[in-house]
Amino acid sequence: MLGIMNRAAPDPTDLLQDALNAAPGGFVELRWHKKQTRGISVEKGRVDNATASEHSGVGVRVLEQGTFGFASTDRLEKGAVVRAIGEARAAARASSRARRERVPDFPAVTLARGRFDAPGVDATLARPIESALEMLLEVERGARAGSSRVTSASTAYAEIYEEKGIVTSDGAKVWTRAIRPEFRVIAIAAKAGEMQRGAEAVGVTGGWECLFESKSPAQLAEKAAKQAVYLLDAGYPEGGRTQVLLSPALVGLLTHEAVGHTVEADFVASGSCAAGRLGTRVASDLVTLCDSGASEYHDGAGGTLAVDDEGVATQRTTVIENGFLRSYLHDRESAARSGVAPTGNARAWEYDDEPLIRMRNTYIAPGTSKLDEMIAGTDDGYLLDGASNGQADANGEFMFGTREAYRIVRGKKGPLLRGVNISGSAFDVLQTVDAVGSEFRWDLGSGHCGKGQPAKVDAGGPWLRCEVVLGGRKA
């Protein structure tokens, strides 16, 4: 068994507290953040990557002269942390002349104290990396063996193990640990000079068993290979505005890209389409949308965290309740400006990154409809599945990719068509929701959300019917 890293550090919070006590004055936030990653990738029987890495240090954020300063040190030593506090203060002082509106002192809030461990940490750390390598090689072989049309396949496993110690001058003192493994398989199929790609990915906060709870690696590989092969013979959907049934993965993209970003309080302050709309109707009354630090409904959501990077215990934030906009997502600064409690959405990717307002696990709550009934009740539209990438603008206009499409005509589902990108305006689309499924699934736990820094998030929901614009091949 390989002793690849995974040396659990001792509780760093006492050392951080000592450093903070040695440099008193004003608001100071110290965050020890140790990140260890293990990753392996395999393509066509060859190991392209077998990596173990560590990136650890202490990030220091101060509020001085009404503005923030940030500095970091890669050493968990009292002297180094005290020096970094001084550097952060100097940076704040040097920049305060450019600050037009001073940041007020944070109001007192209840901050987290104690130790918080996400599930699966010890079991996953104890698992030898050889087992992941063997699995990747076997599954990759299997993906290629499924069809003579599959010309290439690749598999990858990665896990991020994080320890954080957070101490603030106003009372937070927490030590957290979490592990987030993910698995990805890609198959390329070819016919007559044309290529198509099938892909499946899963990612969780938790252990190996949680990662493959729904589908085994071999099942995921088989699905990716079949998708690539079937897409070779698939046609294109027609473009235009149409009714669609979105799978839980796509509902996840919709909630994350189209709504979640627009209700992040920093985007709201910049004039996003959610600004000034609290208390107003933004969706059909079938829609209740939340962002939670917990893994609601099912274990393992990829963005699960107990405490955010400002030391605020996370909670479930109801963003839209039965169609009405109820809350934005806040860090401590935006919450103070809005006169509300912080929602635990401040997150930093690594120790040398400052916390930003980020989502955790974002979802639409399940309704009562069965998928079969939703298909049968659709006269003319598409069923869409398989999440690809997605982006959204502050004005709510979103785009995201789908891997598979099926035409529905008079309640009957047709053959597979190639996936397309869909677009719309977030709140306009949510107003068109006329059916919400009863089965819930997290389905966006692999990969990252990008907002200057990456973040591990998850999103999901039930099947949902709404209207979007489809970027089909025939105009």
Partner 1 sequence: MSTTTTGRGRTADTLSQREREEELLARCETLVAEALRAGADEAEAFATHAQKSAATFEKGDLKLAHVDEGSTIGLRVFRQNRLGFAATNQFDAAALAAAARNAVALASASPADPANRLPDARPIVELPSLVHPGIARLGIDEAVDLGHTLLTRAQKFDTRISVDGANASTSRVSQAIHTSRGVRAVESDAMVSLSISGMALEGADVGGFHYGSDAIRDPVLLESALARLADDFARTSVGNLAAQRAPTSYQGLVLFSPDAVLDLFVAPVLAASSAIAVQRGRSALGKRLGERIGAPGLSIHDRPGDAELAGAASFDREGQPARLFALVEDGWLRGWMYNGYAAAVENRASTGHARGGARGAPGLGAHAVCVAGGTGGSREDLLAALGRGLLVQRFSGSVDPASGDFSGVAKSSRWVEGGRETGPVRETLLSGNAYQLLARIVALGNASERVDGSARSPWALVDGLTVTAG
- Per CB under 8 A, which of residues 6..35 are in contact with partner 1? 7
CA distance 427 to 393: 13
Distance separating alpha carbons of residues 278 and 260, to the nearest angstrom: 14
Q: Which of positions 200-239 make contact with partner 1 (CB under 8 A)? A: 236, 239
283-342 positions binding partner 1, by CB under 8 A: none
Q: Work out how close the CB of 144 gets to partner 1 at its nearest, in angstroms, rounded to a whole number.
A: 10
Alpha helices for 26-111 (secondary structure H): 78-95
Give 107's contacts (C-beta < 8 A, 6+ positions apart): 336
Contact letters for partner 1, residues 139-168 (x by CB under 8 A): ------------xx----------------
Q: Does 279 bind partner 1 (CB under 8 A)?
A: no
Question: What is the number of helices (H) and of strands (E) in the chain?
Answer: 11, 24
Residue type, position 270, single letter: S
CB of 19 to partner 1, least distance (A): 16
Figure out which of the listed residues 391, 431, 432, 453 binds partner 1, where binding follows CB under 8 A.
Answer: 391
Q: What are the phi and psi torsion angles at 213 (to 5°)? A: -65, -45
181 sits near partner 1 (criterion: CB under 8 A): no
Nearer to partner 1, 133 or 218 (CB): 133
Q: 259: alpha, beta or left, given left = phi > 0 and alpha = psi -120 to 50? A: alpha
CB of 333 to partner 1, least distance (A): 9
Provide the pairing of β-strand 441-442 with 458-461. Answer: antiparallel
Q: How far is the CB of 316 from partner 1 (least distance, A)?
A: 26
> Which residue is it, tokens 């909670």?
315
Contact 352, 315 (CB under 8 A): no
Q: Spell out, one character per residue from 32 to 71, where the chain touches partner 1: x when CB under 8 A holds, - when not.
A: -----------xxxxxxxxxxxxxxx---x-----xxxxx
> Which parts of 438-457 interact with partner 1 (CB under 8 A)?
452
Q: Shortest distance, CB of residue 89 to partner 1, whole angstroms? A: 10
Q: Looking at beta carbons only, is 377 or 471 nearer to partner 1?
A: 471
CA atoms of 93 and 105, how far apart (whole Å)? 16
Eight-state DSSP code of residue 309:
T
Closest contact distance (angstroms) between CB of 400 and partner 1 is 9
- Is 411 one of the binding residues for partner 1 (CB under 8 A)? no
